[in-house]
Amino acid sequence: MPKILLLQASARSDGNTHQIVQALRKQLDFDVIDLKTKHIEPYSYERENQSDDFLPIMRAFIEQYDVLILATPVYWYSMSGVLKNFLDRLTDCISIEKQLGRKLRGKQLASLSCGSDGIEVEGFHTPFRLTAEYLDMEYIGSVHTWIAETDIEEEVLARITEFAEQVNVRLNAKN
């Protein structure tokens, strides 16, 4: 069975995105890395960031997992800063660590956004889809979720269920 790694990329480890991740966990089996607890430097042309946590996370993903789900809150109509740093650092996998980058081919990528309402930002998931395409990964879908007050609404739970089913179908089709 393919293994899934979810990167939670929020400024709050226990915030709304975490609540959504926990709801998804009831539907899918996956491991979680909370990027807030990791040290990920911004991309550096001078390669001054090689001792942070980015490459160990990528090596672990490539060695142990088949699917990467990126979970981010919606901050100012875009992904979180910590996730943007992480995605920018994928450049390391095609420039410095080329062998590592080549091993991304055939892996699967999905994205999950969590906002304060059901209005999805147009094109929000496009960077994730295009990143997968560029790295020869298979983009297996996205879902927009939200928590308006404190509880997850039934409509959001239904979206989470649909997303989990979509991921499972794509995983089973690959095997």
Residue 171: predicted pLDDT: 82
What's the pLDDT tens digit per position in 35-55? 999 999 999 999 898 899 999
Residue 106 belongs to domain with CATH number: 3.40.50.360
Percent of the chain predicted with pLDDT > 90: 90
What's the pLDDT tens digit per position in 2-19? 799 999 999 999 999 999
Strand partners, 42: none
For the chain, the average pLDDT equals 95
What's the pLDDT tens digit per position in 135-172? 999 999 999 999 988 789 999 999 999 999 999 988 88
Residue ranges making up the domain that contains 10:
4-174
Q: For 105-117, what is the mean pLDDT? A: 96
Q: For 58-81, what is the mean pLDDT? A: 97
Residue 11: predicted pLDDT: 95
pLDDT band at 175 (very low <50, low <70, confident <90, very high): low
Count of structural domains within the chain: 1
Cβ atoms within 10 Å of 116's Cβ, excluding its own: 12
The helix-helix angle for 16-25 and 154-174 (nearest 10°) equals 50
pLDDT at 103 > cutoff 70: yes
SS3 41: coil
User: Distances in Å between the alpha carbon of 66 and those of 56, 85, 155?
Assistant: 16, 22, 29
Amino acid letter, 46: E
pLDDT at 32 > cutoff 80: yes
Strands (E), the chain: 4-8, 31-34, 67-73, 108-115, 138-146
pLDDT at 123 > cutoff 70: yes
Residue 121: predicted pLDDT: 94
**pTM above the 0.85 mark?**
yes
User: Distances in Å between the alpha carbon of 80 and those of 61, 65, 71, 75, 87?
Assistant: 21, 23, 9, 6, 11
